[in-house]
């Protein structure tokens, strides 16, 4: 059979298949009262799904966005919302028992605004204000990874790590091998990784660590084969935490990947991290323990760990860990960002890779600028998602009109997450300035009230502003290539 005959035969088969499908389709519509049944089913679908969405009591815009989007997807929309829709978790957390504890005495002078923020953080996160002896700002993976490996080599009792992305590349192998060495030396190693962010690593990658005596747990693995249990696909742990012997901690935005090391890639992400030493490390430990117990169900180690935890003397640096997630309605990190901006007197400098603010956050920023404060926003020139880039840029006009100075960083991807308020207050962590970080992800950021640390961060951000491109109000904005894509992306802001 020649080529032409084969093609003709395939076309004949395709036409036959299409004709069969059309006959089935026509046959469906001949069934008695089929239109009435389908209409009734669609109405019941809308009522059921609509009631489910409305009972979540989310922002009206977000609820309406879901309703309108899923109304056009009969039955399939139910599955989409079941897997990806907003979800609340109910889990027991040890720190809830401490929420009613009184604030520790503050021996250092504080302003009324600072004390109010510390009280707000304590009430919304359940983590008491604390202090630190030392804070080191680490810029990019080339500073963080050597510091982390050095601290791991000095660990003697336990090493706790929680990461969203843990790649099986050169950086990931170096860290895994360092953990293996410590585990063989008798140090307890517990590693918690997100099952979506770290899916490339796979369980085989961590087998040598398990064989050395380490423990590895996966946060919210998908269970689509268990339809009676929600898969939590949309609820991820975005935290990047390391606790070593309860004395030294790491927190920030840098994952474990070659993409964040300028020594390995010329296009490595620009990012920030903190190395901390002092009492606030106990709060990092509390958050890790809550997550570990939630994922594994294992609490047997808590008594032994409590005995091993040091009790350092208060340090000179005021600090407060902020932890938030869908297991709490208070949105601690969101509230502290907005509260800190409202408390500003001189300046507000915000650096974030994803800027998709809610009404409260947008109002806080524009009000600060309209009030004459030095308000600056630094975002990437092009993020890792074109849709997000369009959505972020859709806010520029309102910000610029209010007097906010907007800068775009490039050509490297900006991944830093930091807020600087006046000359003493800063927040650095894993949370982006968007709906997902404030409401869906499990995040952790550190609020530091110290002029020295704030000054170091100010110098770093000032360097970024000098190398970034200011966004001008008179920039070219053609309709089809700029304004329309931005407007359409803005409609999806509550879902991003």
Asked whether the beta carbons of 203 and 231 are under 8 A apart, the reply is: no
- Whether 238 sits among the annotated catalytic residues: the reply is yes
Catalytic residue among 238, 273, 424, 435: 238
- Whether 245 sits among the annotated catalytic residues: the reply is yes
Half-sphere exposure of 326 (CA within 13 A, CB side): 20
Report the run of H or E that residue 62 belongs to, with start and end.
helix 60-71
Please give the distance of CA 303 from its chain centroid, rounded to a whole number.
31
- Whether 422 sits among the annotated catalytic residues: the reply is yes
Report the run of H or E that residue 193 belongs to, with start and end.
strand 188-194
- Encode 170-181 in three state secondary structure: HHHHHHHHHHHH
- Whether 337 sits among the annotated catalytic residues: the reply is no
Catalytic residue among 140, 194, 245, 279: 245
Please give the distance of CA 41 from its chain centroid, rounded to a whole number.
38
Asked whether the beta carbons of 253 and 278 are under 8 A apart, the reply is: no
Structure tokens at 445: 């950021």
Catalytic residue among 422, 434, 449, 450: 422
Q: Are strands 158-163 and 241-244 parallel, antiparallel or unpaired?
A: antiparallel
The SS3 call for residue 365 is helix
Asked whether the beta carbons of 394 and 486 are under 8 A apart, the reply is: yes
Catalytic residue among 334, 415, 424, 435: 415
Catalytic residue among 417, 424, 434, 450: 417
- Whether 160 sits among the annotated catalytic residues: the reply is no
Asked whether the beta carbons of 450 and 424 are under 8 A apart, the reply is: yes
Catalytic residue among 144, 240, 273, 337: 240
- How many angstroms separate the CA atoms of 114 and 100, rounded? 20
Question: 């389709």: which residue's tokens?
Answer: 25
Q: What is the DSSP letter of 215?
A: E
- Whether 459 sits among the annotated catalytic residues: the reply is no
**Sheet strands side by side (includes 405-409):** 130-132, 317-324, 443-449, 425-429, 418-421, 347-351, 374-380, 405-409, 469-470
Q: Catalytic residue positions?
A: 238, 240, 245, 415, 417, 422
């Amino acid at each position: 059979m020649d080529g032409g005959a084969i093609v003709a035969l395939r076309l004949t088969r395709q036409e036959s298949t299409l004709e069969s499908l059309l006959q089935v389709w026509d046959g469906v519509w001949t069934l008695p009262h089929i239109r009435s049944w389908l209409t009734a089913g669609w109405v019941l679908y809308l009522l059921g799904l609509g009631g489910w969405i409305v009972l979540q009591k989310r922002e009206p815009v977000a609820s309406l966005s879901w309703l309108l989007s899923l109304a056009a997807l009969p039955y399939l929309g139910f599955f989409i919302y079941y897997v990806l829709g907003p979800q609340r978790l109910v889990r027991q957390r040890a720190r809830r028992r401490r929420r009613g504890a009184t604030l520790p005495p503050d021996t250092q002078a504080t302003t009324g605004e600072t004390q109010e923020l510390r009280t707000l953080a304590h009430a919304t996160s359940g983590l008491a204000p604390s202090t630190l002896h030392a804070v080191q700002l680490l810029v990019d993976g080339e500073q963080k990874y050597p510091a982390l490996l050095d601290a791991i080599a000095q660990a003697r009792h336990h090493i706790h790590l929680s990461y969203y992305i843990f790649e099986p590349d050169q950086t990931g192998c170096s860290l895994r091998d360092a953990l293996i060495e410590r585990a063989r030396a008798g140090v307890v190693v517990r590693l918690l990784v997100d099952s979506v962010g770290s899916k490339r690593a796979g369980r085989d990658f961590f087998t040598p660590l398990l064989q050395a005596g380490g423990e590895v747990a996966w946060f919210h693995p998908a269970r689509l084969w268990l339809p009676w249990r929600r898969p939590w696909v949309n609820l991820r742990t975005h935290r990047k935490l390391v606790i070593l012997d309860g004395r030294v901690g790491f927190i920030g935005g840098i994952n474990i990947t070659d993409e964040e090391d300028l020594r390995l890639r010329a296009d490595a992400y620009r990012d920030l991290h903190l190395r901390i030493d002092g009492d606030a490390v106990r709060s990092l430990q509390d958050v890790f323990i809550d997550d570990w117990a939630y994922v594994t169900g294992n609490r047997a180690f808590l008594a032994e760990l409590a005995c091993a935890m040091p009790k350092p003397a208060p340090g000179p640096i005021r600090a407060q860990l902020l932890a938030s997630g869908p297991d709490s309605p208070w949105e601690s990190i969101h509230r502290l960002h907005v509260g800190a901006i409202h408390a500003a007197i001189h300046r507000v400098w915000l650096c974030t890779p994803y800027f998709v603010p809610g009404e409260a956050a947008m109002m806080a920023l524009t009000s600060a600028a309209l009030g004459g404060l030095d308000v600056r926003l630094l975002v990437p020139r092009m993020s890792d998602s074109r849709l997000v880039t369009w959505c972020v840029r859709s806010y520029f006009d309102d910000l610029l009109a209010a007097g906010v100075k907007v800068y775009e960083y490039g050509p490297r991807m900006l991944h830093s997450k930091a807020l600087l308020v006046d000359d003493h207050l800063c927040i650095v962590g894993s949370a982006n300035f968007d709906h997902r970080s404030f409401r869906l992800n499990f995040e952790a950021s550190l609020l530091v009230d110290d002029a020295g640390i704030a000054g170091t961060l100010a110098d770093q951000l000032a360097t970024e502003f000098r190398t970034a491109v200011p966004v001008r109000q008179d920039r070219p904005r053609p309709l089809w290539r700029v304004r329309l894509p931005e407007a359409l992306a803005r409609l999806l802001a509550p879902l991003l």
